[in-house]
Amino acid sequence: MASAPQALQALVGRYDFKVFEPRDGRARVRLSVAGGGSWDVVLKRGGAQLTTPDGDAQATLTADLQTWTRIAADLRGGMDAYQTGRLQIRRNLHLGVGFLAATSGVREPGRLRFRMVLTRSARLSTLEAGTGPPVLAIHGLGATKGSFLPTVAALVDRFRVVAVDLPGFGDSDKPIGAPYDARFFADAIIDLMDALELERADLIGNSLGGRIALEVALVYPERVGRLALLAPSLAWRRPRRWAPALRLVRPELGLVQLAPRGVVEGIVHRLIPGANEGWTAAGVDEFLRAYLTPAGRAAFYAAARHIYLEDPSGYQGFWPRLSRLEPDALFVWGRRDTLVPIAFERHVAEALPAARHIELDCGHVPQIEMPRQTHEAVGAFFAQSAGSRRALAPTV
């Protein structure tokens, strides 16, 4: 289109469907120039076509003209602009980042790329970059692989980082009636490793992803190198007053959306500070994209239910099992975390005296809230040999 800025034309001309192709074979991405108009890119049949805006786009990318020009001139500029906040992606982070990766023009091994991986049990959506030792990144409840984009960027020079949408979340399959407990997710991670032909990998997990990483290491210790656990979800030690009632509630109720979409979106935006800004806005979009589907709601409710009901005690309870963990583990705690209070650090230290801990002045998502400190610690931990016990600073 002659009316579109040259920078947008250059980006679309570089589109490489081998790096990213929409799951259904077709998608519409809107490219907006702040104060200067919008154009749509239609992705279909392995190609991309720039056209005038028409209807709703599945993802919207917005930046000023100077930023778009820099992105077009710098083959790595798109992700840099997004991470620094000069480029905003809304509605569908998977599609928006996939478009940036496919138009980067980068061709060397280790470039950012997206794959739908067929495993024994499900199709799992992944993004990965790098060519070093493998690291699998596992997101938290209601999140997606997009929450580990800063991690991929930070570790890509030393590791092959694979971030996955867990079954039930993001762009992965969402099987109705699946248990969505820690063991179910751990088996899904092993299935993914088998499909990727990874005999062994380091794992990094945030929140529920941390709990899943622990389950993988407890059940399949021979498949795990080291664990980096960012504010991991852990079994409650205090009495759970709602447990008897919650055991009677079936997560399949999520198949019915009791509240209108507008009401759900309004509640989420009121509950989450900064829900329309930066990474938080993208995270809210990703949550709503899955939650507003019947299968996504059922998966969310089932996973949340298992988190709350997990038995903390007894031989097969979480805390006695945790004391039998074999792989080396690094725990990253947020001093301002209201979901997994830092008081859990003391309980973990009692169960795992050899584990390392660092504390950061952040909330529940360290890799986004304090990316530099988090990734420096994690990168150093993964880089150490298995026998090394070089001490990490206790606080940052």
Residue 382 has pLDDT above 60, yes or no: yes
Residue 386 has pLDDT above 50, yes or no: no
Does one domain contain both 118 and 197?
A: yes
Looking at 68, 102, 136, the residue that finishes a domain is 102
- Residue 219 has a pLDDT of 98
Closest CA to 368 of 105, 134, 83, 162: 83
In angstroms, the Cα distances linking 226 to 6, 216, 222 are 47, 11, 11
Residue 208 has pLDDT above 70, yes or no: yes
Report the 10 Å Cβ neighbour count for 148. Answer: 29
Does one domain contain both 157 and 18?
A: no
Contact call for residues 75 and 100 (beta carbons, < 8 A): no
Q: Output the domain CATH number for residue 54.
A: 3.30.1050.10
Chain segment 346-362, per-residue pLDDT in tens:
999 999 999 999 999 99
Does one domain contain both 366 and 330?
A: yes
Closest CA to 51 of 61, 41, 60: 41
Quote the pTM value: 0.88
Does one domain contain both 144 and 81?
A: no
The answer to whether position 263 is within a domain reads no
Does one domain contain both 93 and 119?
A: no
HEC sequence for 312-370 = CCCCCCHHHHHCCCCCEEEEEEECCCCCCCCCHHHHHHHHCCCCEEEEECCCCCHHHHC
Looking at 79, 102, 125, the residue that finishes a domain is 102
Does one domain contain both 202 and 168?
A: yes
In angstroms, the Cα distances linking 118 to 144, 167, 196, 253 are 18, 12, 9, 28
CA distance 150 to 372: 9
| Number of domains, the chain | 2
**Tell me, what amino acid is at 194?**
D
Residue 332 has pLDDT above 90, yes or no: yes
Q: Between 152 and 46, where is the model more confident?
A: 152
The answer to whether position 89 is within a domain reads yes
- Residue 38 has a pLDDT of 95
Q: Output the domain CATH number for residue 240.
A: 3.40.50.1820
Q: Is 376 helix (H, G, I), strand (E, B) or coil?
A: helix
Query: Burial letters for 84-94: b for 16+ Cβ neighbours within 10 Å, e otherwise?
Result: eebbbbbbbbb
Contact call for residues 64 and 35 (beta carbons, < 8 A): yes
Q: Is 162 helix (H, G, I), strand (E, B) or coil?
A: strand
Residue-by-residue DSSP string for 180-238: -SHHHHHHHHHHHHHHTT-S-EEEEEETHHHHHHHHHHHH-GGGEEEEEEES------S
Does one domain contain both 15 and 145?
A: no
The answer to whether position 208 is within a domain reads yes
**Tell me, what amino acid is at 348?**
V
Does one domain contain both 29 and 74?
A: yes
CA distance 60 to 75: 20
Chain segment 116-127, per-residue pLDDT in tens:
999 999 999 999
Which band of pLDDT confidence, cut at 50, 70 and 90, is reported for residue 36?
confident
The answer to whether position 130 is within a domain reads yes
Which band of pLDDT confidence, cut at 50, 70 and 90, is reported for residue 261?
low
Residue linked to tokens 């392995």: 46
Print the domain residue range for 337: 113-257+292-383
Does one domain contain both 160 and 234?
A: yes
Contact call for residues 221 and 354 (beta carbons, < 8 A): no
Q: Is 308 helix (H, G, I), strand (E, B) or coil?
A: helix
The answer to whether position 322 is within a domain reads yes
Does one domain contain both 159 and 71?
A: no
Looking at 76, 102, 128, the residue that finishes a domain is 102
Does one domain contain both 53 and 198?
A: no
CA distance 146 to 223: 24
Q: Between 84 and 381, where is the model more confident?
A: 381
Does one domain contain both 137 and 79?
A: no
The answer to whether position 120 is within a domain reads yes
The answer to whether position 1 is within a domain reads no
The answer to whether position 198 is within a domain reads yes
Which band of pLDDT confidence, cut at 50, 70 and 90, is reported for residue 3?
confident
Query: Burial letters for 352-374: b for 16+ Cβ neighbours within 10 Å, e otherwise?
Result: beebbbbbbebbbbbbbbbbebb
- Residue 110 has a pLDDT of 84
Residue-by-residue DSSP string for 42-104: EEETTEEEEE---S--SEEEEE-HHHHHHHHHSTTHHHHHHHTTSSEEES-HHHHHHHHHHTS
